[in-house]
Amino acid sequence: MLSAKSLFQEILDDDESFRLFCSIAASGESQGGWENARIAALVPPDQRDLAPKIARHGADEDKHGRIFDALLKKRGLQPVPVPPDADYTMLLERAGIGLAHDRLRADQPLTVQDVVTYLAHSRVTEQRASEQMELLRKHFADHPDIGRAVRMISHDEDNHLAYCHEELLRLARAGHGRAIQRTLRECALTEIRVHRDVSLAVMSHMGRILGWSRPKAALLAAGVHAVYAGERLAGWHRMVSLTMPERRDALGGPATPAPEFA
């Protein structure tokens, strides 16, 4: 019987599929680290209080990248190039979601609208990351090889999501509510499409590595399309709602080190 647990267990048990999984994850996290570091350096003067939190966000993402690299090293594996069709962060940027890398490479201060764009993009993508890590935590929190990494990353992703809620609500109170809702909706609808495309690409690559039969591959692809249909119909609303989180000031301190993975 196919399930999320059995599917990931299959990927985990094979060196080549595990190598691809960790390489994709490490690349995305490292890219997020760079983006947040640049945004922290460019925030406008009237939003400078955000800079340490954005930097903390970036430091967490860098840490996650190192954790995935360490998981590979632990099994004597080297990273592989990320297939372009499975590069989630690159495809989101190409779709116009978030702040363009050309904008971040320039030394021009960001605007408040840029900050709204960044936080809205993060709120949507961190929702996805939090849910995915929650699923892994549910099934693999006690796994001898990846359990500690799963628990640590899941905790961080929940913090990132709480931070996005709190800061967007602060900006909404400052008069940016309409811009926030408009940007969130645009981000969410684009993200669910990109997530569908990346999921299909990853499943295709994994299927070739693991030798999945055509019926199995078709069933998994149908599942991806079904998830997208549900999200396109109404599921995207969970990505645009804003509620004050229980975890207040979730990124108000330094990043938690991970010496056991570094």
The per-residue pLDDT for range 151-195, each reduced to its tens digit, is 999 999 999 999 999 999 999 999 999 999 999 999 999 999 999
Work out the pLDDT band at 137, boundaries 50, 70, 90: very high
Whole-number Å distance between alpha carbons of 152 and 163: 17
Q: Does the residue 122 lie in any domain?
A: yes
Q: Does the residue 257 lie in any domain?
A: no
Q: Does the residue 262 lie in any domain?
A: no
User: How many domains does the chain divide into?
Assistant: 1
pLDDT at 252: 85
Work out the pLDDT band at 262, boundaries 50, 70, 90: very low
Q: Does the residue 248 lie in any domain?
A: no
Q: Does the residue 142 lie in any domain?
A: yes
Range of the structural domain that residue 152 is part of: 4-239
pLDDT at 254: 66
pLDDT at 261: 52
25-29, 104-108, 119-123: least confident range: 104-108
User: Which CATH number do you get for residue 45?
Assistant: 1.20.1260.10
Work out the pLDDT band at 113, boundaries 50, 70, 90: very high
Work out the pLDDT band at 226, boundaries 50, 70, 90: very high
Mean pLDDT of 212-228: 97
Work out the pLDDT band at 1, boundaries 50, 70, 90: low
Q: Which residues, other chains included, contact 67 with Cβ-Cβ below 8 Å and sequence gap of 6+?
A: 149, 152, 153, 258, 261
pTM above 0.85, yes or no: yes
Q: Does the residue 258 lie in any domain?
A: no
Residue 47 has pLDDT above 90, yes or no: yes
Which DSSP string corresponds to 133-191? HHHHHHHHTT-TTTHHHHHHHHHHHHHHHHHHHHHHHHHIIIIIHHHHHHHHHHHHHHH
Residue 255 has pLDDT above 70, yes or no: no
Work out the pLDDT band at 256, boundaries 50, 70, 90: low
**Percentage of the chain with pLDDT > 90?**
93
Residue 253 has pLDDT above 70, yes or no: no
Q: Does the residue 256 lie in any domain?
A: no
End-to-end CA distance of the chain: 37
